[in-house]
Structure 1
Amino acid sequence: MNKVQQAFANGKAFIPFITAGDPSLEITEQLVLKMAEEGADLIELGIPFSDPVAEGLVIQRADERALAGGATTDKLFDMVRRIRKVCNVPMAFMTYVNPIFTYGTDRFMKNCQETGIDAVIVPDVPFEEKEELMPFCSKYNVDLISLIAPTSHDRIRMIAREAQGFVYCVSSMGVTGVRQEISSEVGEMVKLVKEAKDIPCAIGFGISSPEQAAKMVQFSDGVIVGSAIVKIVEQYGVDCVPYVAEYVQMMKKAVQTVK
């Protein structure tokens, strides 16, 4: 079992997302350690980018704040290196293909391996183009996480067969953000994945309340929550750590109650 799949080894997984560098890299570091302490099973760190196509306004604003604060990919790698000295929770970078290419794909994946990033999630690389990253991921033993959406239809089985780590099931179309209603198609998607491959499935996009999280893990292996956490960071700024910790604790409890 690889590091990413370990996140799903103890029942339903809770996977928080934060934008690295918002409000500062010091606070991001504290957030990672605190979220791990409160039971986060895998932590997703967003690399701030000036054109995040899949993101709603909450995460766009966080990206802007992080970039304005001087967060760079190199500084994020240094931060991960520090975190890894004291924290073993699986970690994934969520980014776009442009920052990886600009950095140098080989160098980027090599640094992931050396600093302790276990996986990358790159929403703007469709399945058909994943060969642009795959050889480098394989070379440095970094999982490339596949995303599926309700529109993936016939491609779901194909994507699932080649998926690594876990499958990121996008609960609804459009950009990230908190939603009131989450579609029931997700259960269908998970079923199709499992028919093709025995791999964990985590649902993301739009989940914010413990009730939604508990509902989603009834037919998946975990939930991913981003915008709701980034909103707390936005609201409290440098004082956000205890508030995020409390939220993670509450969400973790919600998913754990579901067997």
Structure 2
Amino acid sequence: MKKPLILITNDDGYTAPGITLLAEIAQEFGDVVVIAPDGPQSGQSSALTVTVPLRVILKDSRPGYKLYKTNGKPADCIKVGLNKILGQKPDLILSGINHGSNASLNVIYSGTMGAALEGAIVGIPAIGFSITTHSWEADFTEGIPYIKKIIEEVVENSLPEGVCLNVNLPENDISGIKVCRQSRGIWHKEFIENIDPRGQEYFWLTGKYLNTEPESTDTDIWALDNGYVSIVPTRCDLTDYAYLEELNKNYENEG
């Protein structure tokens, strides 16, 4: 049987330990093509490169595995891979393993999840993986069996049209898997203000995450705080269906 084709990217750059491990794991399930940014692209969400041409450079090639770097963003990696590099539709898209959590509203800003959502848009099963620590020396050991289990499940059973998975892993002491919803929360005190050596004011993005529903036990934040791998089914459709009918009533006589 022909092996599945798996396209992998991330937002930490093609040399990041997380993507190196994810590519090694993915090779147990199929042929792997990695197309990843040439440097960090965190916080890029689904942004695209539109002011300069994309350069895609082959860095490694061997049976069942290719690695490309590009000056693009994570979503660019998926688009250029699907349109120009692969030559066929992949069976699965993986993004990560991101160094840093993408739970709760971080999914909105995440380049890792921007790439996974790009797969969902075009109907390809996609998973974004993240670990809660930002450390480049992150210990993925306990998470590996869970990553394999989740990939295997999607390879065997696919995903609904337009849906991808947002998977976040604790670094250590993992208790199991929780399928859950995205937690509600906010970022506050988001910028540090200071003066540079030339006497000019500047602002540095920082901030602290505040979980606005700490008592809820069905969220990704609760799962991670209690040692579980969180899985949140995620889609691009941002329509508020609960409010749609009510809003329609307000405009039903407007022609």
* TM-score normalised by structure 1 residue count: 0.30
- Structure of greater Rg: 2
* TM-score using structure 2 length: 0.31
Structure 1 or 2: more strand by fraction: 2
